[in-house]
């Protein structure tokens, strides 16, 4: 749940506002230092977007939240580099699958880990998706090197910048 996230209060507040307003962008870039919780926040954001609960989202109890946690939700996929690079075939598959409607949730969500590792061909393929995004697709690019992404990709995404969590906040939580 968002309440389990430590030290990113402003980011969580912003994401909750996005969800409550219903103004979901087609693409986000979660950037910041390695190992600060970008992927964990992205998964919780995906759960919130597809959560079936009427109360605070994500509930972590509905079938949608449980499927996302187990990696079995048909509308939420994580894409990771094959070897050392994200390849064009992965982006082409994303584009093909993204054209289909969501099966169980409101949105088809793709979390692209280490997005700075895209080959030039993959980046251009992703750019094509960003220029003509399918209606219910949400892309979340996760990167530790924001400037390594093409400027044209960055300009088509909402930026969510993470920073290191202050030591005193970590001490208080632990």
Residue 99, pLDDT score: 84
Neighbours of 33 (CB within 10 A): 11
pLDDT of residue 121: 95
* Sequence-distant contacts of 62-65: CB under 8 A, at least 24 apart: 64/104, 64/105
pLDDT score at 53: 87
Q: How confident is the model at residue 79, as a pLDDT?
A: 95
Q: What share of the chain is helix, strand, coil (3-state, %, to 5)?
A: 45, 15, 40
Q: How far apart are CA 87 and CA 123, in angstroms?
A: 9
Contacts of 97 (CB under 8 A, 6+ apart): 77, 108
**Full strand arrangement of the beta sheet holding 137-143:** 76-79, 108-112, 137-143, 27-31, 158-161
Owner of token pair 């986000």: 28
Q: What is the pLDDT of residue 100?
A: 87
Rg of the chain in Å (alpha carbons): 16
CB distance 38 to 30 below 8 Å: yes
pLDDT in tens, the chain (174 residues): 566 777 788 998 999 999 989 899 999 999 999 999 999 999 999 999 999 987 778 888 999 999 999 999 999 999 999 999 999 999 999 988 888 888 898 999 999 999 999 999 999 999 999 998 877 899 999 999 999 999 999 999 999 999 887 777 777 777
Give bridge partners of residue 52 from the DSSP assignment. Answer: none
* pLDDT of the residue at 164: 84
pTM of the model: 0.91
pLDDT in the model for residue 54: 79
Position 109 scores a pLDDT of: 96
How far is Cα 10 from Cα 16, in angstroms, rounded to an integer? 10
47 token code pair:
């759960």
């Amino acid at each position: 749940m968002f309440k389990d996230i430590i030290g990113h209060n402003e980011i969580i507040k912003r994401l909750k506002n996005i969800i409550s307003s219903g103004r979901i962008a087609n693409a986000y870039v979660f950037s910041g230092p390695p190992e600060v919780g970008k992927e964990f926040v992205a998964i919780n954001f995906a759960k919130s977007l597809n959560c079936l609960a009427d109360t605070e989202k994500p509930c972590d109890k509905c079938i949608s939240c449980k499927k996302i946690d187990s990696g079995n939700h048909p509308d939420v996929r994580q894409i990771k580099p094959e070897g050392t690079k994200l390849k064009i075939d992965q982006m082409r598959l994303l584009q093909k699958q993204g054209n289909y409607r969501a099966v169980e949730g409101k949105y088809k969500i793709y979390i692209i880990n280490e997005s700075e590792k895209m080959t030039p061909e993959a980046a251009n393929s992703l750019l094509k998706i960003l220029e003509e995004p399918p209606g219910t697709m949400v892309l979340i690019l996760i990167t530790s090197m924001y400037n390594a992404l093409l400027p044209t990709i960055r300009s088509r995404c909402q930026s969510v910048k993470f920073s290191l969590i202050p030591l005193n906040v970590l001490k208080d939580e632990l």
